[in-house]
Amino acid sequence: MTRPGLIEAFVRDQRLPESFLDLAASLHVPLADRIARTARGRDRPLVVGLCGPQGAGKSTLTGLLTRLLEDRGLATANLSLDDLYLTRAQRVTLAATVHPLLRTRGVPGTHDVALGLAVLDALAGSGPTLIPRFDKAADDRAPPADGQRFEGPAAVILLEGWCVGARPQPAEALAAPVNALERDEDPDGAWRAHVNAALAGPYRALFERIDLLAVLTAPDFATVRTWRGQQEARLRERLADPAQAMDEAALDRFVAHYQRLTEWIAGDLPARADIAIRLDADRRPIWTRGL
């Protein structure tokens, strides 16, 4: 049972519409119940992978799940794949030595996987763990003092991100570009081959830590672009200098980096995940499996 008023307080804190209450009852509460059932009685943390495209509502999902799981007596830590991005300086080096497109954060190969594994290990033990944070406005890792301090051990770790749990594509799938970015800036396929190799290599070790995997999918990639545009608009409102946010052309180019894997994940991951949730254009679940 969820403590009365918990979800209502979350809606107020996050300034969400009242209609979110129905969504929480149909999706967030059943998902929390599934996670709680799986987590109880374990001698190590349950690592829950939460995969979903940009703008799908993963941050809101993990925020409410954390409150619901803690209400069920389960100490819950959050680790976002976005907070594991390499520093700007590291990505500049990658761009110079491997491929220019690796300067842009996002795809496999632009995260510090070793850091992610170290954080998972630390969260399983007693005592404090500093969970890193990435400053997207500055496009760089935030100072350690800005990280979240979690007192372990965790009973549940929510590992969320747009490509969490993804596996590499078959080699033949890399041949044809999926958009103008790949056609014009990766004509020989070297960038997408590097991304694919990262999934087959270091990211595999990270994703193998997942005990329970849930995936959200969008109707199509055009919807993902719309959702990501809404995120950028909200960011622009919060920035002291709105010029730090991307304009439409810059956002189109940025999102193009994600298209290949977003579409691959939507077709590949739902059948393999423990829990699959298909969303409509308004982020409402229209089909679920595993809850």
CATH number of domain containing 283: 3.40.50.300
Report if residue 1 sits inside a domain.
no
The candidate with the shortest Cα–Cα distance to 32, out of 67, 82, 81, 83, is 67
What CA dihedral angle connects 185, 189, 194 and 197, to 10 degrees? 150
Could you identify the residue written with the tokens 């730090």?
244
Report if residue 219 sits inside a domain.
yes
| Number of domains composing the chain | 1
Percent of the chain residues topping a pLDDT of 70: 97
State the average pLDDT over residues 126-140: 92
Q: How far is residue 109's CA from residue 201's CA, in Å, rounded to a whole number?
A: 10
Question: What's at 204, amino acid-wise?
Answer: R
The predicted pLDDT at position 277 comes to 97
Angle at 239 between CA 234 and CA 240, to 5 degrees: 150
Backbone angles phi, psi at 201, to 5 degrees: -105, -105
The predicted pLDDT at position 240 comes to 65
Which tokens go with 189? Answer: 């396929």
Give residue 38's Cα distance to chain centre.
21
Report if residue 249 sits inside a domain.
yes
Give residue 117's Cα distance to chain centre.
16
Give residue 106's Cα distance to chain centre.
10
The verdict on pTM exceeding 0.85 is yes
The predicted pLDDT at position 242 comes to 67
The predicted pLDDT at position 136 comes to 84
3-state helix, strand and coil shares in percent for the chain, rounded to the nearest 5? 50, 15, 35
Q: Has residue 10 got a pLDDT over 90?
A: yes
Q: Has residue 233 got a pLDDT over 80?
A: no
The predicted pLDDT at position 145 comes to 84
For residue 213, what are the β-bridge partners? 49
221-238 vs 248-268: helix crossing angle, rounded to 10: 130
Report if residue 61 sits inside a domain.
yes
More confident residue, 246 or 66: 66
More confident residue, 214 or 239: 214
Report if residue 189 sits inside a domain.
yes
Report if residue 58 sits inside a domain.
yes
pLDDT category at 247 given cuts 50, 70, 90 is confident
The predicted pLDDT at position 243 comes to 65
pLDDT category at 174 given cuts 50, 70, 90 is very high
pLDDT category at 239 given cuts 50, 70, 90 is low
Q: Has residue 279 got a pLDDT over 70?
A: yes
Q: How far is residue 76's CA from residue 155's CA, in Å, rounded to a whole number?
A: 6
Could you identify the residue written with the tokens 């995260």?
111
Q: Note down the domain range covering 183.
A: 6-289
The predicted pLDDT at position 1 comes to 74
The predicted pLDDT at position 246 comes to 75
